[in-house]
Structure 1
């Protein structure tokens, strides 16, 4: 017997003959209970959608997380508590995320209820601390502190059957005893003058029958803003706002008289208010010239035109000269 072994072809090997591969494939059993294969087009579409969704989610995470500070990643309730107790009114301005989480009527009301008691409950001559005044002034300077919001905040302190006019809200505000050195915010002392702004100023104005405020003396910066606001009030015909500013110590000026007499049709009621304010402040420095040539020329022309406003202006300016002498 020869020692050499006869080579045997093994099915499936690379070296198998084509006929053997074909014959072996025919003998393979088929599992008829198996589910049909998913076409490659559907399978590929599902895979693409899954990969795209996963990639998009990953991109969102990578895009969002690195931009959020440690504070922004805290739960909203905790962020709102921080805002509430810190009374840092600039916090919403730090980012759009914080602004969205801290800008709501509920949060505004909560903050107001936390801040204002620090400047309430004082006797007329008592003053609040500079810190409490600064926070309160910042609060009243916020954009959300509108007449609609503030009157709504005061509503809970009004009787159920109250008429709810600005005078009623002012009575409630005075009843809360605001500190004597609590001043209205700068944004309420200038135009444009709307009914809502005037109503809010009428409530927050510290001047009343028993307490006279000299705003230019107490705060020259606010006094200057209020003086410009008075000119705007005359130009806009907002005489209620003008009266409020005069009651807070704004000094009448020659320019105010010119606007009332020449530019606004010589409204006698407003002219009388300016005259009264001059008389009321006669002991202080005033910048009114009762002999102003522009006013007298207008009055003389009105006289020649048989307009009795000319006589009224001349009479008023002569009396004004005597008051200032």
Structure 2
């Protein structure tokens, strides 16, 4: 067998330097460094500290923007400006202003300033739209809770003995708030806690008078809140929303009867809130097939009384609407 002639391959170990592709580019290696004796720990510590200090110096330094002339004022002056202008967007302008304007004492002052134009309605002119909007927005602030509102009433109108919920509502009513004050969005939807229901009662005039009709987005939120009240069986919340202008609908009635166990108190609230003479139109169909089918099948489920209750209510509503013959044909 003929012997093979060995061939040098570039880049392989054992090739001459001229045959390697990185010849002349290789960084020289200090062979003596690997053979250096192990340094004691005392000599390593200074070197590590130097490296840490260099790394820290390379970090991006946090920028501290210069404060404006307003932000540099003392907190007392900024609070006076805030109370005078009544602009609730001022604390949102910067974190410096937020820190100087976020205190319970400041909230108390701001509440008194924002609500003053809408109180004593019997002795004043009608508040402007801007004043009404400012008061509604104040009630929508995060700090404005039922607990804080009661604390403000305790401070503004001192009382000789501990108050109950009705006492606070009567105290607020004695201040003669304008009937045009609308509730904030946060009070028009669930979850319907006891505190939220009490707070919503503040916006129902006392003694009862025709309440201002909710409009636009507030009315949509109130309708959604009424559906949540039905699901949670929050009778008081549903009653307040109905008094504030939420009209009962067939969908609400289906929700109360079919989906949530036919709570008679809720069903009665919905039927009693239908006023054809005032609205000119009714959003509850007394001949709704789904409601009639549920009532007729109630006997089979062992709840004949609930079925008869719903049928009687539907028939009475049909008579009020002037459609008795349709009920008979049904």
TM-score range, shorter chain: 0.7 to 0.9
Take 2:112 and 2:273, find their aligned partners in 1: how far apart are those partners?
Answer: 36
Stretch deviating more after TM superposition (293-302 or 123-132): 123-132
Change (3 A) 1:257 1:282: farther
Contact kept, 8 Å, 2:146 with 2:195, in 1: the verdict is yes
Q: Which runs of 5+ in 2 are unaligned?
A: 1-45, 323-330
* Among 240, 256, 260, the residue aligned to 2:252: 256
Runs of 4+ aligned structure 1 residues displaced above 6 Å come to none
Deviation string, structure 1 residues 23-71 (Cα, Å, up to 9, x no partner)? xxxxxxxxxxxxxxxxxxxxxx9xx9xxx9xxx9xx99x843x342222
Deviation string, structure 1 residues 155-190 (Cα, Å, up to 9, x no partner)? 23253224321x211111111011121121222112
Take 2:319 and 2:191, find their aligned partners in 1: how far apart are those partners?
Answer: 35
Take 2:222 and 2:67, find their aligned partners in 1: how far apart are those partners?
Answer: 42
Change (3 A) 1:251 1:297: same
Under a length normalisation based on structure 1, what TM-score does the superposition of the two structures give?
0.75
Q: Is 1:175 matched with 2:171? A: no
Q: Is 1:242 matched with 2:241? A: no
Alpha-carbon distance, 1:247 to partner: 1.3
| Count of residue correspondences | 265
Alpha-carbon distance, 1:116 to partner: 0.8
Deviation string, structure 1 residues 257-287 (Cα, Å, up to 9, x no partner)? 1111111111111111111101x45431221
Change (3 A) 1:305 1:124: farther
Rg larger in 1 or in 2? 1
Q: Is 1:283 matched with 2:278? A: yes
Alignment of 1:1-325 (within 5 A): 63-64=63-64, 66-123=65-122, 127-156=126-155, 157=157, 159-165=159-165, 167-206=166-205, 208-216=206-214, 219-278=215-274, 280=275, 282-284=277-279, 285-307=281-303, 308-325=305-322
Alpha-carbon distance, 1:205 to partner: 2.2
Change (3 A) 1:303 1:186: same
Helix, strand or coil: the match of 1:215? Answer: coil
Take 2:87 and 2:266, find their aligned partners in 1: how far apart are those partners?
Answer: 42
Q: Which runs of 5+ in 1 are unaligned?
A: 1-44
Q: CA RMSD in A?
A: 2.5
